Amino acid sequence: MDSEREKFRTYVEKSGVMSALTDVLVHLYEEPQRPPDALSYIKTSLGAHTADQATLRCNMLEEKVKEQAATIERLNARVKELEVELSSAREAGGGNKEHPRPTQPSQPPPAITTAPTATPEKTAQSS
């Protein structure tokens, strides 16, 4: 019987359960005001999700999905508006279906005025 307890104690210590429980109990002890439900405090501290937390998380995610769906609808409507505007502009411009090209700069870029420097290898080969 004692060897089974010793095996279990060793298992609990090696897996980190003892340390986690000790930390939670120390935090509970150090709380200036004791929580009304110590078991819920321990569950929360250990990271266990209660049914209420899962429901809250689910509700928050559902709300986010609704917001994103509304954004998608709004953006799709805007795309349709822009397509109509583009179509009208093409018809008014003589049927040119190409996008307008950007204008080229009026002056060419300045020419490079420095000559390339010779490397010692090239200088030795040309001699």
32-71 pLDDT, tens digit each: 999 999 998 888 888 765 566 678 788 889 999 999 999 9
Q: What is the pLDDT of residue 127?
A: 47
108: left (phi over 0), alpha (psi -120 to 50) or beta: beta
Rounded-to-integer distance, Cα 27 and Cα 29, Å: 5
Sign of CA dihedral 65, 66, 68, 69: positive
pTM: 0.37
Q: Which is more confidently placed, 84 or 102? A: 84
Greater pLDDT, 65 or 123: 65
Residues of the chain with pLDDT > 70, as a percent, come to 69
